[in-house]
Homo-oligomer: A and B are copies of this chain.
Amino acid sequence: MLNTKAQVSKATVRRIPLYYRAVQQLQQQGVSRIRSDRLSELIHIPSATIRRDFSSFGELGKSGYGYSVGTLVDEFGKLLDVHTKEEMLLVGVGGLGAALMENNFRRNPDLNITMAFDADPAKVGTTVAGIPVYDFKTLRQHLTPAIHTAILAVPSTSQTAVVTALEAAGVNAILTFAPQPVVCGPDTTIRYIDLTSELQSLLFVAHQKGAHDRVH
């Protein structure tokens, strides 16, 4: 299954994390088989799209009988899992940045933040959880050819300048906690984690649920 990666469309690839989350939740709820029409209701993707996507990964289940939830969890997990060592840098050693350096994605031992950058002279030259903090101005001096990925925990106002400098230095995969969307080059992939929006979405759904409960 993993070998078919190159033939899978970009749109399908983007849906994999969504499928993965959904089947993990089904497994946790004790569901062992799922049909595409039921999955469609859960994740709001047309069932024809789901069947086409799943068929591009090979034999995941039989039409009509449903897909094995356990198999889907295993296969999507394998597909998303990073098995090659991935060295990363972090920019912005505030409270959140330092917490990320301490945690360092320890659930996946192949993912490691190996250096950090900040503009604050009080932080430059220190280490956090054994990871050195350098001056962001010296990015190119410290960057190694193995690093193409950055975690950003900088203020929104700094984000565009930081992304531009990172792109120029060859970093093309960026996970950021600053919500303001940035215009980046076609070779760069940015993923935003907007904590305030996540919280607002949660509250919106929870309030809606409460409103529904009161109405019915």
Q: Which residues of A contact B (CB under 8 A)?
A: 5-6, 8, 10-11, 13-17, 20-21, 24-25, 27-29, 41, 44-46, 49, 79-82, 86, 94-96, 98-100, 102-103, 105, 107-108, 111, 148-149, 151, 172-175, 179-183, 187, 189, 191-206, 208-213, 215
Contacts and interface: CB of A to CB of B under 8 A. Distances in A.
A28 B195 contact: no
Copy number in this complex? Answer: 2
For A45, A99, A198, which residue has the most chain B Cβ atoms within 10 angstroms?
A: A99
A189 B175 contact: no
A212 B195 CA distance: 31
Given A99-B94, A99-B99, A105-B195, A149 B203 contact: yes
Contact of A29 (B13, B86, B183): B183
Given A105-B196, A181-B28, A86 B191 contact: no
Nearest to A13: B208
18 contacts: A5-B211, A6-B211, A17-B201, A21-B194, A28-B183, A80-B201, A80-B204, A82-B200, A82-B204, A86-B203, A95-B99, A96-B103, A99-B99, A103-B195, A111-B196, A111-B199, A175-B198, A191-B205
Q: In terms of DSSP, what is the predominant structure of the interface of chain A?
A: helix
A206 B173 contact: yes
Contacts of A107: 179, 196
Contacts of A149: 202-203, 206
Nearest to A79: B204
Nearest to A101: B95
Contacts of A211: 5-6
A174 B149 CA distance: 30
A182 B28 contact: yes
B195 A201 contact: no
Contacts of A41: 11
Contacts of A213: 187
Nearest to A94: B99
A104 B148 CA distance: 31
